[in-house]
């Protein structure tokens, strides 16, 4: 019997190292995939429909919202983005753990629509360290960095909605924790209920 | 800041390999300990008070029950056994994960008194395999083995009360799952709440 996958939602301040932790944890694994969002914005050069995004019309987007076909959705710079429920469900049914990297508001929507989703919040060890990392990254002005820090403090208030907190101090440890959460979640009673009936 | 330990309750049919899995998973770790029970039975030669058991009088036992000082207790062959709450709490406060290997009724009592306890049910891959292991072990009569199998089927009905199910098919995998559960539980929001307040 093929085990079903889980939806893994990750959030955390910009600069906390979300992608680095996740990529280190899932390297070489074939049971993991990332969610593909729908968007109303036009494809940029090189972007592939169904891979980078599902590019859809505003009418189709509105219809998806109406029919509750999105696990979460948001507006960003005059365009709409969302997570298609059917796509995520298909991947999970095929045994994949689906990773969804979204902001706290989106995570809240997902948890409401799919309570069995696993929510992981990835944090830097301190705000000072976060500032240091953002400065080191060298891509943001000091003004943007201060705005990111303010936003990070806001997001932290939502951390209690998350199932797990990973503190990305040492990357290896954080990646190990991420992998342990995936494995532990596979051992959850609800996940193995079907097996119990066959014993 | 020292992280507090957790109470890990394990149950499962005789022959499922509970001790083998746990011992393989915690080998060499210094953050783990086993709970020490109180009992009203007399010490056997070589048994050390406070190590094998806390040996107490029936009067003291009754008092502990009365004062809600036991996380669970049961009678067995005319003697009383129980898990002292204060002892477990002290070990957890000192940062140890405390392992408690008890039957399903005891596990239920513990979860009621300490909802944050983590309950893990360890199973053989099938009833046929359990029978095979019990026969191989060579310590029980066929009659006892059949009684154990009947009991195992009864216990299985309680599995839904457990947080996690480990299927001990391959020992290495089962031990890895046990270790992953311990690590994931350290990442739980409730466990890291204090940290969040210091970020």
Q: For residue A76, count other CB atoms closer than 10 A to its CB.
A: 10
Contact at 8 Å (CB) between A9 and A88?
no
Q: pLDDT by residue (tens digit) across A32-71?
A: 999 999 999 999 999 999 999 999 999 999 999 999 999 9
Query: By C-alpha distance, which of B111, B121, B39 is closest to B73?
Result: B39
Instruction: Say how far apart CA A116 and CA B111 lie, in whole Å.
Output: 22
Q: Is residue B126 within 8 angstroms of chain A, CB to CB?
A: yes
Q: Which of A31, A145, A187, A105 is nearest to B166 (CA)?
A: A187
End-to-end CA distance of chain A: 13
All residues of chain A having their beta carbon less than 8 Å from the beta carbon of residue B176 are: 183
* Contact between chains at B180 and A177 (C-beta distance less than 8 A): no
With respect to residue A107, please indicate whether it lies within any of the assigned structural domains. yes
Is B2's pLDDT higher than 80? no
Q: How far apart are CA A8 and CA A121, in angstroms?
A: 11
Q: CA quadruple A165, A171, A177, A183: dihedral positive or negative?
A: positive
Which residue ranges of chain A lie beneath pLDDT 50? 1
Q: Does residue A148 sit within a domain?
A: yes
Helices B18-26/B171-186 angle, 10° precision: 60
Structure tokens at B15: 């022959």
Q: Is residue B90 part of a domain?
A: yes
For an interface test with B, which of A6, A154, A187, A191 has the most B Cβ atoms less than 10 Å from its Cβ? A187
* Chain B environment of A164 (Cβ under 8 Å): 184, 187-189
pTM of the complete model: 0.90
**What pLDDT is attached to residue A54?**
97
Contact B133, B124 (CB under 8 A): yes
Q: For the residues B92-96, what does the mean pLDDT come to?
A: 95
Beta-carbon separation of A181 and B189 below 8 A: no
DSSP state of B42: P
Which CATH number does the domain housing residue A120 bear?
3.40.50.300
CA distance A51 to chain B (A): 31
How far is the alpha carbon of A131 from chain B, nearest alpha carbon, in Å? 12
- In a domain? residue A2: no
Query: Could you list the residue range(s) of the whole structural domain that residue A61 is in?
Result: 7-198
Q: Can you count the helices (H) and strands (E) in chain B?
A: 8, 9
Inside any domain, residue A1: no
Residues A119/A11, Cβ–Cβ less than 8 Å = yes
- What band does B199 get if pLDDT is binned at 50, 70 and 90? confident
| Residue B193 resides in a domain | yes
The whole-number pLDDT of residue B197 equals 82
Residue B2 covered by a domain: no
Q: Can you give chain A as a three-state secondary structure string?
A: CCCCCCEEEEECCCCCCHHHHHHHHHCCCCCEEECCCEECCCCCCCCCECCCEEECCHHHHHHHHHCCCEEEEEEECCEEEEEEHHHHHHHHHCCCEEEEECCHHHHHHHHHHCCCCEEEEEECCCHHHHHHHHHHHCCCCHHHHHHHHHHHHHHHCCHHHCCEEEECCCHHHHHHHHHHHHHHHHCEHHHHHHHHHHC
Region B85-113 average pLDDT: 96
Q: How far is A159 from chain B (nearest CA, A)?
A: 8
- Provide, rounded to the nearest whole percent, the portion of chain B with pLDDT above 90: 86
Distance CA B93, CA A81 (A): 46
Say whether residue B24 is in contact with chain A using an 8 A CB cutoff: no
Question: Does the beta-carbon distance from A192 to B160 stay under 8 Å?
Answer: no
In angstroms, the CA B189 to CA B199 distance is: 14
Closest by Cβ to B160, choosing from A163, A167, A189 = A189
- Tell me how close the Cα of B150 comes to any Cα of chain A, in angstroms: 13
Chain A touched by B81 (CB under 8 Å): no
Q: What is the ipTM of this complex?
A: 0.88
Chain B residue whose CA is closest to A161: B189
- Confidence (pLDDT) at A6: 95
Q: Tell me: the pLDDT tens digits for A120-130?
A: 999 999 999 99
Q: Is A184 on the interface with B (CB under 8 A)?
A: yes
Within a domain: residue B1? no
Per-residue pLDDT tens over the stretch B145-193? 999 999 999 999 999 999 999 999 999 999 999 999 999 999 999 888 8
Number of domains in chain B: 1
């Amino acid at each position: 019997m093929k085990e079903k996958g889980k939806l893994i939602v990750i959030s955390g301040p910009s600069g906390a190292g979300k992608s680095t932790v996740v990529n280190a944890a899932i390297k070489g694994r074939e049971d993991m995939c990332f969610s593909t969002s729908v968007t109303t914005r036009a494809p940029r050069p090189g972007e592939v429909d169904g891979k980078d995004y599902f590019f859809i019309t505003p009418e189709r987007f509105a219809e998806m919202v109406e029919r509750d076909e999105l696990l979460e959705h948001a507006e960003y710079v005059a365009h709409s983005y969302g997570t298609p429920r059917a796509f995520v469900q298909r991947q999970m049914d095929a045994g994949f753990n689906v990773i969804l990297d979204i902001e706290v508001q989106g995570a809240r929507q997902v948890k409401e629509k799919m309570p069995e989703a696993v929510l992981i919040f990835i944090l830097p060890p301190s705000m000072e360290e976060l500032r240091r990392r953002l400065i080191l990254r060298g891509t943001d002005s000091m003004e943007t960095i201060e705005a990111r820090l303010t936003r990070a403090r806001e997001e932290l208030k939502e951390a209690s909605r998350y199932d797990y907190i990973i503190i990305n101090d040492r990357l290896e440890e954080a990646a190990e924790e991420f992998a342990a959460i995936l494995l532990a979640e596979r051992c959850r009673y609800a996940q193995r209920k079907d097996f119990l009936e066959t014993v």
